[in-house]
Amino acid sequence: MTPEAIPPTKIKFGTDGWRAIIAEDYTFDNVRACAASAAMYLKKHNLAGRGLIVGYDARYASENFAEAVAEVVAAQGIKVALTSALCPTPVVSYSIIDRKAGGGVVITASHNPWQWNGFKYKPDYGGSASPEVVTELEEPLPSLVGRDIPVMEIAEAKKRGLVELFDPRPPYLAQLARLVDLERLKAAGLRICYDAMYGTGAGYFNELLDGGSTKVTVLHGFRNPIFPGMHAPEPIARNLGDMETSMRAQPFDVGIATDGDADRVGIADEKGVFINQLQVFGLLCYYMLEARGERGPIVKSVTTTAMAQRLGEAYGVPVYETQVGFKFLGPKMMESDALIGGEESGGYGFRGHVPERDGVLAGLYMLDFMARTGKRPSELLADLYAKVGPHYYDRIDLALREEDRDRIWKKAGDARPDAIAGMKVTARDTTDGFRFTLGDKGWLLLRFSGTEPLVRIYTEVVGDESLVPKVLAEGRELIGA
């Protein structure tokens, strides 16, 4: 087959950016194509004069891919501010706001396994690219992939003043100090076990909290792009065995973990028991409404907890649902001036910051909840359950072969069960996948992942934890898995 006859790679942005396996589809040529599209977008919308922020995570060759982006954008005469070291995605997002840039690019695959890398585009508002922005970024890609993209070598771009290196940390740390009373946290005497998961969050909690009686013990606080000892740098129970072991070996008040690019957070209670993502979102909503006394809408994805609705009713605030991903949540947060937004993946965003997930800020807010109340996480969760009732959640991820996709989708779409695990199905919706509401007893959702070749089965039930595996098993039956 001649080179001209080789079909170009199809680059498709998922829930948050484009991700692919390094050296297969994730190549320098394809990253340059994405960068060229980003430059076209900036010019089309008269944002080129404000420049582009470029940052990167701790994955293999991420800094080299970031330089490749800078070389393409600089060749178009657009100034690039390139982070001087790896940094969290929310730090890049805040840098866009702080520097009034036209947009930003982060080279990251977030929580995906080590073989992956990705390209996240952040518009001038500092959040995830909305569906409309994604459409514009994807549109020119077929004509760019496989073509020679003009570049300006990084040394020449720096010489001409088109690429500058900058440290994004100081403005971001100052922003967090405005949002959280760091002196209260430093003086709270908290014993924190923090798992950086070999990612970009390393160093942030220490820098923010050192200097008082609170102590931070760090696990995996250095770069290792194969993330040894964990399936992926995703802060969920199966990847946090070392944190659980450490917390059982010595006394801690809380465990905090952030994913590869530190936009997601995982929390463990004082005994090292993982508090799942839906419980954490419930706790953060409760913290905002009760401990801080703030009011405003709650925005949630369809995959996250019904506790949000119950809290909304209790405190008289509206609750809005969106499809999965901050490309939907972020715009709704901005539109409604939401107090908080959250999704099942462990990503939470907050008013007064960026309309985007921030794992570091979410962790600080959890610490602030503890410092204000003098309570440990298990006690806070008990208080939440006393308010809204106990809610139990789990999710199954099944590897998906492309040839099975249509069959599974049709089977899920055709499913019309009268009851699931003995609970009557009272509603069915297709906001994102296929969700079956089980009255006030819970829900089941079937959907494809937007970032990985997986079909996901989710459930949350109220009151009886033993129903969770039964609902998930019936979900598998519904799709023939």
Give CA separation, 287 vs 180, 254, 263, 380, 393, in Å. Answer: 13, 16, 19, 9, 20
What's the pLDDT at 409? Answer: 86
**Domain boundaries along the sequence of the chain:** 3-168, 180-388, 391-479
What's the pLDDT at 3? Answer: 36
pTM summary value:
0.93
Please state which CATH class domain 391-479 belongs to.
alpha beta
| 162-215 residue pLDDT tens | 999 999 999 999 999 999 999 999 999 999 999 999 999 999 999 999 999 999
What's the CATH superfamily of 180-388? Alpha-D-Glucose-1,6-Bisphosphate, subunit A, domain 3 (3.40.120.10)
What's the pLDDT at 31? Answer: 98
pLDDT band at 47 (very low <50, low <70, confident <90, very high): very high
Token pair belonging to 69: 């982006």
| 259-286 residue pLDDT tens | 999 999 999 999 999 999 999 999 999 9
> Which CATH architecture does the domain made up of 3-168 adopt?
3-Layer(aba) Sandwich (3.40)
| 211-264 residue pLDDT tens | 999 999 999 999 999 999 999 999 999 999 999 999 999 999 999 999 999 999
**Pairing assessment for the beta strands 265-268 and 274-275 based on DSSP bridges:** antiparallel
Q: How far apart are CA 47 and CA 40, in angstroms?
A: 10
pLDDT band at 16 (very low <50, low <70, confident <90, very high): confident
pLDDT band at 401 (very low <50, low <70, confident <90, very high): confident
> Which of residues 171 and 449 earns the better pLDDT score?
171
**Is the pLDDT score of 6 beyond 50?**
no
Element at 378 (helix H, strand E)? helix 377-388
What lies within 8 Å, CB to CB, of 37 at 6+ separation is 137, 138, 139, 140, 141, 144
